[in-house]
Copies of this chain bind each other. A is one copy, B any other.
Amino acid sequence: MRILLADDHDLLRDTLVLFLEGAGGFETATAASLDEALTLVDKQDRFDLILLDLNMPGMNGLKGLEKALAYKGGQRVALITGEATRAIADAALEAGAAGFVPKTLPAKSLVNAVRFMAMGEQYAPICFMTAETAAEPTNPLAQKLTPRELQVLEGLTECKANKEIARDLDLSEPTVKLHVKTLYRKIGAANRTQAAMIAREAGLF
């Protein structure tokens, strides 16, 4: 099974190659950039699967993925990335990627996923895909807030003034201020900047 692993992190590339080859049944090639990867595709036999890091020289966003997918009459390409966003996963699969692999995946699962994808299937971690589909109440922070307060908090993370938030949510400014105040108490913020930071830190919005 021929795998091309393209990631600019040598550390991951080196160790992952060893791991894959140790698992058996894999023949690997590596590249540190998109261009390098495509050059290998030119020179060598067809790969069963190409793993592309989302944050790598040459890929600007999903542009690189699409370029690789269409290269030389079509390739089987999966995305591998450190920051696992639902939006990215959806967009990648939508674009025709063979799969979406977050780096938070255990190494053993990755091997299985790679085998799976190389067979022609489409892969994405289920826990990850379902987590945000139905509901995202799992966030310890979001849990404590009412829907309205969450909306207001979202406005805060966007650096908006109370007045703006009021306009966007079709509320009066005093109401927004009330939500802001109670929201501070709930999440332990002293001001809007801190509230925004806390929300960001919690992975909200």
B-binding residues in A (CB < 8 A):
8-16, 18-19, 22, 55, 60, 82-83, 101, 103-108, 110, 156-157, 159, 161, 189-194, 196-197, 200-201
Q: Is the CB of B11 within 8 A of A103?
A: yes
Q: Is the CB of B18 within 8 A of A11?
A: no
Least Cβ–Cβ distance between A11 and chain B, in angstroms? 5
Q: Is the CB of B193 within 8 A of A156?
A: yes
The number of times this chain is found in the oligomer is: 2
Least Cβ–Cβ distance between A103 and chain B, in angstroms? 4
- Chain B hits for A83, CB < 8 A: 55
Q: Is the CB of A194 within 8 A of B159?
A: yes
Least Cβ–Cβ distance between A154 and chain B, in angstroms? 13
Least Cβ–Cβ distance between A125 and chain B, in angstroms? 11
A contacts with B: majority SS: helix
Least Cβ–Cβ distance between A7 and chain B, in angstroms? 9
Least Cβ–Cβ distance between A84 and chain B, in angstroms? 10
- The complex places the Cα of A190 from the Cα of B101 at a distance, in Å, of 35
- The complex places the Cα of A194 from the Cα of B157 at a distance, in Å, of 8
- The complex places the Cα of A11 from the Cα of B84 at a distance, in Å, of 13
- The complex places the Cα of A107 from the Cα of B173 at a distance, in Å, of 53
A-B contact pairs, 29 of them (CB 8 A): A8-B104, A9-B12, A9-B103, A9-B104, A10-B103, A10-B104, A10-B105, A10-B107, A11-B16, A11-B101, A11-B103, A11-B104, A12-B12, A12-B103, A13-B107, A14-B19, A14-B106, A14-B107, A14-B108, A15-B18, A18-B18, A18-B22, A18-B107, A157-B197, A159-B197, A192-B193, A193-B193, A196-B196, A197-B200
